[in-house]
Structure 1
């Protein structure tokens, strides 16, 4: 459940508030949490209009830790926040807004995160819901996916699977656009979800290759995270860009040429270290291949949903389906 609201003038603030309350209600959140959603969305929408002129708010359901909640992500390309510490303190009013301030928004959220660079915009994330379960897995996951401009259906798809002591992530880009591309990705996801968790990424890619031959095919990347062994196993076919960033630097995970389901060549698996603080990022070709983190100091310290949303804001192209998936090790 996800919707994106574009904001261009004050008339969009009331609609954003109404849509947030409706989604909170449909997620089964309590009335007090619905009120929190209304306050938070009104504040961030007002700030977008006042300081950036236009922007967008993403509303999506989340079940991180097995608890239903509403994520609010507000994005703009405005001047940024000069004094982020003051802006996040209670009692700080942005002027012309509710006067709630980012500090109050944080207190009405179960999770709050913000990223702002002078001259390059602001991104705010607030999660509204009950406190997460204490035994949640040692991963944080975030993604942002949009179809080609003018299309209702995206040919991209992504999926995650939790298994004992490990996490699987798949990212696909069906060949072309629209329903036929989506069909190829959907069939691949079904095979991925039904696979034995003990299989290797390379072997699973081969299974998918055989299973989607009746479709137009897709490019695909698979990552298997095993914190117990401190390893990440990866295999990819096609032009999906994947990296792992850690304290030791950034490593590119290479995919082989070809199309899964059509002309897949020999798969070359990769294994690398996966440790606390490691961040995995994978993007389809709707995200400019020139994307990098040089323009975004400190971004990797933020929540994966915020990382994905900021990179999508700055590097996604309307002329193609665009997806970013981010995993962070806790």
Structure 2
């Protein structure tokens, strides 16, 4: 699903349910796990219709170093949930319906989060892991994307690779949009993977030197070392990158240029990464995000934060991708750096 699915009645609930079943089955989910994902999608879509009247959903795959995961997001601008603790009990419903309830949605999901306010509506974010896939022990990771409104494919690509002490994360925005942009971004991601043993700046520099496609792209790459409490960062072009801590946002610099311009060199920088820190990448389809949007979200999981930014940020007429990682590793001295 490369665009929001509008939920405004039982027919759209059925569409969401069918789409979730198709995606989970195609990914090789066992029948029981597929039906559990379908149940969650059906419950969330039905809740939108019952309590908010209308809203929208995303159901899409997220890449990961250890495989793929199913992301399920439901968003509405309804009245919000007054007593969230009560509503998290199985089969509890503010409308007296016979639904399974948010408690069961949480129990069926491998990762779950919810954000609800009286004046801002509700966002629910759920993850389902592919068979045999475990969560990374020290770094949480999630990302969502939307295609340009006039296209059927997103020209951005993101990927993560497992490293000895953490993860490498990359986001590439192919120039323009549509199939050619997607092809360029995919080629750059593949080339970055071939240099995974090198530091981010060297890996990106080698890709810039060797890339031969007519259409280029912009990229940010980061290694998150949870054991040492460090981020190694490299960039070329307008991918926004930042570290979020309570009360603080550090914005990483960018360097003018693009992959495909062999006269340019990537920018390199290092920063501390303490327990609870977020690293956020987003392409330029999302207008610059201010502290007033990010800081209140601290503590929520990465998928919900990405969904909230897609729903509430200023999304331009372009491809947009948001990728967020959070450090769950042990506390290190670097948390003060």
Aligned residues: 328
Q: TM-score, normalised by structure 1?
A: 0.88
- Aligned counterpart, 1:60: 60
The unaligned stretches of length 5 or more in structure 2 are: 329-337
Aligned-pair CA distance for 1:62: 5.7
Answer with 58-67 or 168-177: which moved more.
58-67
Per-residue CA deviations over 1:72-102 (Å, capped at 9, x if unaligned) read 2212233322322222123421326433221
* 1:221 and 2:220 matched: yes
Paired position in structure 2 for 1:287: 286
Cα offset for 1:121?
2.2
Q: Structure 1 79/108 Cα, relative in aligned 2: closer, same or farther at 3 Å?
A: same
CA distance in 1, matches of 2:188, 2:164: 22
Offset, 1:307: 1.2
Aligned to 1:40: 40
Look up the match of 1:307.
Answer: 305
Q: 1:90/1:264 Cα in 2 relative to 1: closer, same or farther (>3 Å)? A: farther
Question: Matched residue of 2:267: which SS?
Answer: coil
Contact 1:154 1:321 in 2 (8 A): yes
Aligned-CA RMSD value: 2.7
3-state secondary structure, aligned to 2:323: strand
TM-score (norm 2): 0.87
Equivalent in 316, 319, 322 of residue 321 of structure 1 = 319
Q: Secondary structure of 1:302's partner?
A: coil
Match of 1:164 in 2: 164
Q: Quick one: structure 1 residues 28 and 206, their matched pair in 2 at CA, closer, same or farther if it must change by over 3 Å? A: closer
Does structure 1 retain, via aligned residues, the 8 Å contact 2:160–2:170? yes
Larger deviation: 21-30 or 277-286? 21-30
Paired with 1:231 and 1:187, the residues of 2 have a C-alpha distance of 28
1:26 and 2:26 are equivalent in the alignment: yes
Indicate whether 1:257 and 2:276 are aligned.
no
Structure 1: gaps of 5 or more residues: none
Which residue matches 1:94?
Answer: 94
Q: Give 1:297 deviation, angstroms.
A: 5.7
CA–CA distance in 1 between the matches of 2:15 and 2:126?
A: 18
Structure 1 window deviating more from structure 2 (113-122 vs 2-11): it is: 2-11
